Amino acid sequence: MNYEKLMLRAISHANQYKYTAKPNPVVGCIIVKGKEIISEGAHEKFGCNHAEINAINSAKLNLGKSFNSFEELTLICTLEPCNHTGKTGPCTEAIISSGIRNVVIGALDPNPLVSGKGIKKLKKNGINVISGICAELVEEQNKFFFFKNTYKRPFITAKIASSLDGKSHLLDDQKTWITCKESREDVQKLRASVDVILTGGNTVVNDNPLMNARVNFPINQPKKILLSSKTNFNFDAPFFKNANYEIITERSIKNVVNSFGSTDITSILVEAGPKLINSFLNEDYVDKLIIYESTSKLGPNGVDWFKGDNAVEKLGFKLESSYKIKSDTKKIYIK
């Protein structure tokens, strides 16, 4: 049996729900009888059924038609089935109860509540288990989830819009559109991919941003987190209206980042001015830096993003990719 081909199909199926399953990992599941696909399922939405449950429920509709007993079937799942009760019941119990006797798994779940325990439970109940099929692809697909469980903090991306001469904005704090419309549309997709958008008080006051993900497909809108010692904001402003937001007055970046360790949050996008961006960079809490660079210059009246030449490289970042978005250049740096 070519389990790799089926696992790739399950990975692809899961990817459709990357904007609605977050902050959970995306998971795909296929149930087969020999070479025939009986059903498919995915974890479609945070808080709803996991992929295995959806696939089993779908397979039940074919019982007595495509197959006579679940014992004839093999369940193929991209991530190790959970063995604990969270927002839904344990997937291991559903698999055992169904009568399925063979399970093929992509990657082990890094969550300490699950890791290895799901497989152990299945084997203890007489189920044959194969694991490690396309594991690296599953881990890459759920990079934020694996990072969070490895480092006990969210994956943090910092995003900036820069003029050609490395400026953020004009000294008079006048709102300035630096990048083109197409770059700003690209940012919306970036926002849609994360659990949290984090910014500072000056950005909220000076730019009056909405700072949500404005896209034409279903998503779980990222939570907005405002780091500021002030609390006297205009709460009728677009940033706050009808939004899931939190104001954090803690001044220590380390304490702020560590506070997310016990939450579901796996990814944060920092969109702020030079002061807060550099605070995260200097504290070594930025895992990816994205720069949208325009062809225009702001000149001597502009505020620098960084001090000194090659500041990004000196912080240990390497250029991963660089490509054009209309007249702008999008540069992605990683540690």
Residue 84's φ and ψ, nearest 5 degrees, are -140, 165
Omega of the bond leading into 238 within 30 degrees of 0 (cis):
no
Location of structure tokens 């000294």: 171
Supply the DSSP symbol for 80: P
Tokens matching residue 128: 């044959």
Ordered alpha helix ranges (H), the chain: 3-15, 51-60, 91-98, 117-124, 135-141, 143-151, 181-192, 201-207, 253-259, 274-282, 311-314
Spatial contact of 156 and 280, defined as CB atoms under 8 Å apart: yes
Residue 333 CB contacts under 8 Å (≥ 6 apart), including other chains: 288, 289, 290, 291, 312, 317, 318, 319, 320
- In degrees, rounded to 5, the angle at the alpha carbon of residue 150 between the alpha carbons of residues 248 and 159 is 50
- In degrees, rounded to 5, the angle at the alpha carbon of residue 239 between the alpha carbons of residues 284 and 169 is 60
Q: How far is CA 4 from the centre of its chain?
A: 25
Tokens matching residue 320: 């991963």
Which residue among 40, 52, 139, 293 is the active-site one?
Answer: 52
Residue 310 CB contacts under 8 Å (≥ 6 apart), including other chains: none
Residue 52 annotated to the active site: yes
DSSP for 188-255? HHHHHT-SEEEEEHHHHHHH----S---SS---PPEEEEE-S-----TTSTTTTT--EEEE----HHH
Catalytic residues: 52
